[in-house]
Structure 1
Amino acid sequence: MVLVSFVSLLATVLFLPISQARPQSYAVWAADSAIVRGQGNGLDSAGLNPVVSYEHGEFQWALRLLYELTGNQTYFNYIQAGVDNIVFPNGTVHGSYTFTDFSQDPLRTGPSFIYLFQQTHQTKYKTAADTFRSQLNGQPRTAEGQFWHKLRYFNQGWLDGIYMGEVLYATYTNAFDANNVTAWADITSQFKLMFDNTLQNSTAPNNTGLMYHGYDFSHTAVWASPDRGHSPEVWDRALGWYAMALVDVLVLAPPNSGELKPTLLHILNVLAPKIRDAADPTTGVWWLVLTQPGRNLNYFESSGAVMYIYALLKAVRLGYVPDPDGSIVAAMKKAYNYAVNNWVVPNSDGTMSWKNAVSVGSLSTTGDFNYYVSQTVDLNDLKGLAAFVLASLEFEQLE
């Protein structure tokens, strides 16, 4: 009944011109605003050249969920137009994708290829998906089997890469190779190795019980710790990527996926209460560098916050994480209300903007506090705006 009411509500606002009063659904408002600006459409910011971008893949994932919930064909058409900008009719992927970089980032657009093939049966989308999946066959790995984030990051596993690579890996396996127990075991291993090598232990300074941004298995990076080679800080968005990957891959895990589901459920249930407890008690949201709360130059960052809201509300809704006292949902509601009151900016043309999303976070240099707080904060950064659509979809299903 709640879902039916939500769909009915959206039906009353989906066909309003964007210049009219603000839609009652933040998910719709945010998605429509991004579409008006031409974001996430398979082209660069100038709208001229094809670009294979994980941000676009994240936004397309949100549009797919919004389309499935509302039936508004606009969202499906936008996904298809965006993918058609980066996939030739013969299925070759063009734009900025270079196979030999062995970067996991571009792979996040792959689930859109698979979705479009399932919906349209056009072979070009399957061909493009095969190309991305084949990259993983040669992806460099640590001696333990963890995919390197990129070829140029020697022996390094990053939390970001789990969202980029493993969501594609699981989506592809679910769609085309569901009986491949070796693939499911490999996906399980990717999540577990990352968790085991980056989880803060009880003796860590500024212990949050959460996960460092990444690790260097070779211990040669300037930031690598003496014990497991992990990076120095817990960066909010890296953990957000990993949290979203947990819930999104759990949905894809079939009964024959071996230890995948119990492994991911265990990790999710370790992290969920720790994420809840890491929120600032006054505002209810999270610091950019979670291991340095309140430190000068640290700030409340928006993209990581809405990633947590999406992941934890979805986890509770689907029964992955028990919430008997309602404290997780209550904390996510508090955070969401802060988000809409502080990070949503109404514009005079009827669109909305999204603020306080950090532009980038990397382990290519020092990986320390000063690095993270020195990165620019962007308006309408799609990594944050797409996650806000996802968080809004979950929040609005509570109502």
Structure 2
Amino acid sequence: MTKADNIISKYIDSFILPSPPLSPLWNQESILYGKPPKWNYIDNCMITALLMLYDVSGDKRLLDYSVKFIDTYVTEDGTIPTMNFADYNLDNINGGKNLFRLWKLTGDERCRLGFEKLWYEQIVRHPRLSCGSFWHKAVYQDQIWLDGAYMVLPFMAEYAKLHDMRGVTEDVQRQFTDIRKIMRDPVTGLYYHGYDDTNTMCWADKITGLSPEFWLRSNGWLCAALADTCEIASDSSALRQQLASLLHDMCSFCTDDGMLLQLPARAELEGNYPETSGTLLFAYSALKAARLGICGDDIRTAGKKAFNTVTEKYIDNSGDIPLLKNICLMGGLGGDACRDGSAEYYLSEKVVENDGKGIAPYIMAYTELKKIQ
């Protein structure tokens, strides 16, 4: 058994499976800020990871826990009582991917009804920018955030494939293309975290509408969004090229040991640090891209190196429960605190251990390593 095998086993046995679905041990935002239980993207990232691990391990406990989790939040008719469609929050669509997977695995009708409600009650009605891309949330109107691509576009690709909706497939590809045209920096190849179509937000450049910095995890979300969508829409050469280009450009910002910094292009800044959740999203995407034939051995090697460095240097495995370190708790733009998107802002956000936004990508990257061995 490798060290990574041991870490995964400990996480499953001592941390994840014992977690009550209404108060999971991995949701540090809910724990630290006393948030009430509700359908959210963080918990659903963990369920996604567990279902990926189930695919490679066959451990039925993972499937059973995932079913128990979904049953806690989704009623028999597919309603999610703790979710408000009027929020038009792309984060809430993330769990729809798990409804697809569990429906295919179990045939549970509540899952099918659930993802159909997400489609008709939110996706069909979701407000869009002038370019056609979705608003990130109702409270962030006329804005694109990279995070949203991961939350919604693979779900749409899956829905389009299930129902043979070519127009939806084209919509997904166009939204990825718009993100590239609008938010990619041609010098570094990295993507800015946010874009404001009105150029009026406190964080937005008054000419370009772009936020000022490249935040690692947002680029990691985009990588994972592209990788997952490429697996679903395997014939999309444009998406494959976009993913290959982003992974190649991110590689140039890896440190000698394979890690990426919270602000990848600002290595000179005091307080900038190797951030694990974004590095692991990169590792997951690199390993998946290599498995799908999108990238070659250089990208596979970079993904594996990043995963191994996190395993060796950023996880304390001395206790019954491993401790994954250097996870940025959250990152956003605007809002009541008017987060200005500056380097100082991103480096001021709380750094935590054992948050789902780090553990889930660790498990996801681990499953990809298992698939290519």
Q: Give the TM-score normalised by structure 2.
A: 0.91
Q: Which runs of 5+ in 1 are unaligned?
A: 1-8, 11-21, 203-207, 256-260
> Does 1:118 pair with 2:104?
yes
> Which residue of structure 2 aligns with residue 381 of structure 1?
355
Rounded Cα–Cα distance in structure 2 between residues aligned with 1:381 and 1:214: 23
| 1:156-195 alignment runs, 5 A limit | 156-175=143-162, 177=163, 179-195=164-180
Deviation at 1:397, TM superposition (A): 4.1
Rounded Cα–Cα distance in structure 1 between residues aligned with 2:366 and 2:243: 21
Rounded Cα–Cα distance in structure 1 between residues aligned with 2:14 and 2:300: 27
| 1:247-396 alignment runs, 5 A limit | 247-253=227-233, 261-280=236-255, 282-321=256-295, 323=296, 326-348=297-319, 350-364=320-334, 365-396=339-370
Deviation at 1:227, TM superposition (A): 4.3
> Which residue of structure 1 aligns with residue 89 of structure 2?
103
Q: Give the TM-score normalised by structure 1.
A: 0.85
**One-letter amino acid of the counterpart of residue 251, structure 2:** R
Assess if the C-alpha contact under 8 Å between 1:30 and 1:388 holds in 2.
no
Deviation at 1:284, TM superposition (A): 1.9
SS of residue in 2 equivalent to 1:111: helix
> Which residue of structure 2 aligns with residue 71 of structure 1?
58
Assess if the C-alpha contact under 8 Å between 2:253 and 2:265 holds in 1.
no
Deviations 1:184-205 (A, max 9, x none): 1111111111111110023xxx
Rounded Cα–Cα distance in structure 1 between residues aligned with 2:4 and 2:232: 32
Rounded Cα–Cα distance in structure 2 between residues aligned with 1:156 and 1:105: 14
> Which residue of structure 1 aligns with residue 27 of structure 2?
none
SS of residue in 1 equivalent to 2:323: strand
| 1:22-41 alignment runs, 5 A limit | 24-38=5-19, 41=21
Which residue of 70, 76, 82 maps to 1:83? Answer: 70
Rounded Cα–Cα distance in structure 2 between residues aligned with 1:253 and 1:214: 26
Rounded Cα–Cα distance in structure 2 between residues aligned with 1:154 and 1:77: 38
Change in Cα spacing, 1:314 to 1:42, as seen in structure 2 (3 Å) is farther
Deviation at 1:49, TM superposition (A): 5.7
Rounded Cα–Cα distance in structure 2 between residues aligned with 1:160 and 1:168: 14
Aligned residue pairs, count? 361
Deviations 1:271-291 (A, max 9, x none): 1211111112x3321110123
> Which residue of structure 2 aligns with residue 155 of structure 1?
142
Cα RMSD of the aligned pairs, angstroms, is 2.2
Rounded Cα–Cα distance in structure 2 between residues aligned with 1:213 and 1:23: 31
Deviation at 1:160, TM superposition (A): 0.2
> Which residue of structure 1 aligns with residue 189 of structure 2?
209
**One-letter amino acid of the counterpart of residue 193, structure 1:** D
Rounded Cα–Cα distance in structure 2 between residues aligned with 1:51 and 1:234: 30
> Which residue of structure 2 aligns with residue 14 of structure 1?
none
**One-letter amino acid of the counterpart of residue 323, structure 2:** S
Rounded Cα–Cα distance in structure 2 between residues aligned with 1:396 and 1:129: 29
SS of residue in 1 equivalent to 2:5: coil
Change in Cα spacing, 1:54 to 1:352, as seen in structure 2 (3 Å) is same
Assess if the C-alpha contact under 8 Å between 1:42 and 1:56 holds in 2.
no
Assess if the C-alpha contact under 8 Å between 2:56 and 2:371 holds in 1.
no
Deviation at 1:396, TM superposition (A): 4.0
SS of residue in 2 equivalent to 1:157: strand
Deviation at 1:343, TM superposition (A): 1.5
Rounded Cα–Cα distance in structure 2 between residues aligned with 1:182 and 1:387: 31
Deviations 1:56-79 (A, max 9, x none): 221111111111111110010111
Rounded Cα–Cα distance in structure 2 between residues aligned with 1:236 and 1:33: 29
Q: Which runs of 5+ in 2 are unaligned?
A: 25-29
Deviation at 1:105, TM superposition (A): 0.5
**One-letter amino acid of the counterpart of residue 126, structure 1:** R
Rounded Cα–Cα distance in structure 1 between residues aligned with 2:133 and 2:277: 26
| 1:48-59 alignment runs, 5 A limit | 50-59=37-46
Deviation at 1:50, TM superposition (A): 3.8
